[in-house]
C-alpha cells in the first residue's frame, strides 16, 4: 500500500533558521508526491509537487523539496524561516484514481 509518514508532529524553529520538515513514502510504483500548507481556518494550498521531471523541486514562498529514491524521502526545506511560515504542513502521495493519501501533518512554529 502506498502511504506517507511525517516525522515530528510539531517543529519549532527560530525566525531566520533553516526549516526542515520530514516526509517518507512507501510506494510500489514511482510516486507522485505533494506538499501542502494549511493556515488556520483555511483550506490546503499547494506548495510544490514531485512528478519525476526533476529531483529538486522548487515551490512557492521559498520552499523546496528533494526527492531521494534511495531514502524514500521527500523532505521540505526553506533556508530562512519567516513568521508567516507558521502553519500546518501536509505531505501527500497520489494513489490510483486521483486519490490522495495525506500524512498526519506537521505543525510549524516560528519563534521570533
Partner 1 sequence: DAMVIQNPRYQVTQFGKPVTLSCSQTLNHNVMYWYQQKSSQAPKLLFHYYDKDFNNEADTPDNFQSRRPNTSFCFLDIRSPGLGDAAMYLCATSPWGGTHSNQPQHFGDGTRLSIL
- Segment contacting partner 1 by CB under 8 A, of 17-25, 37-45, 64-72, 77-85: 37-45
C-alpha cell recorded at residue 16:
531566520
Residue 111: C-alpha distances to residues 20, 42, 50, 88 (Å): 15, 22, 29, 15
Q: Is residue 41 near partner 1 by the rule CB under 8 A?
A: yes
Residue whose C-alpha cell is 522548487: 58
Answer yes or no whether residue 29 interacts with partner 1 by CB under 8 A.
yes
Distance of CA 25 to CAs 42, 61, 85, Å?
A: 26, 24, 24
Candidate list 51, 61, 80, 109; residue touching partner 1; CB under 8 A: 51
Answer yes or no whether residue 46 interacts with partner 1 by CB under 8 A. Answer: yes
Q: Are residues 57 and 41 in contact, defined by beta-carbon separation less than 8 angstroms?
A: no
CB of 62 to partner 1, least distance (A): 19
Could you say which of 43, 56, 70, 112 contacts partner 1 (CB under 8 A)? 43
Under the criterion CB under 8 A, does residue 112 sit at the interface with partner 1? no
Quick one: DSSP state of residue 18?
Answer: P
- Is 32 a binding residue for partner 1 by CB under 8 A? The answer is yes
Q: Considering the rule CB under 8 A, would residue 98 count as an interface residue with partner 1? A: yes
Amino acid at each position: 500500500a502506498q502511504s506517507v509518514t511525517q516525522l515530528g508532529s510539531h517543529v519549532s524553529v527560530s525566525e531566520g533558521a533553516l526549516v526542515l520538515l520530514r516526509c517518507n513514502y512507501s510506494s510500489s510504483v514511482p510516486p507522485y508526491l505533494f506538499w501542502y500548507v494549511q493556515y488556520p481556518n483555511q483550506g490546503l494550498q499547494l506548495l510544490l509537487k514531485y512528478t519525476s521531471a526533476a529531483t529538486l523541486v522548487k515551490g512557492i514562498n521559498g520552499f523546496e523539496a528533494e526527492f531521494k529514491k534511495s531514502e524514500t524521502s521527500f523532505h521540505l526545506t526553506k533556508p530562512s524561516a519567516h513568521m508567516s511560515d507558521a502553519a500546518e504542513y501536509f505531505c501527500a502521495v497520489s494513489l490510483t484514481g486521483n486519490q490522495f493519501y495525506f500524512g498526519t501533518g506537521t505543525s510549524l512554529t516560528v519563534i521570533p
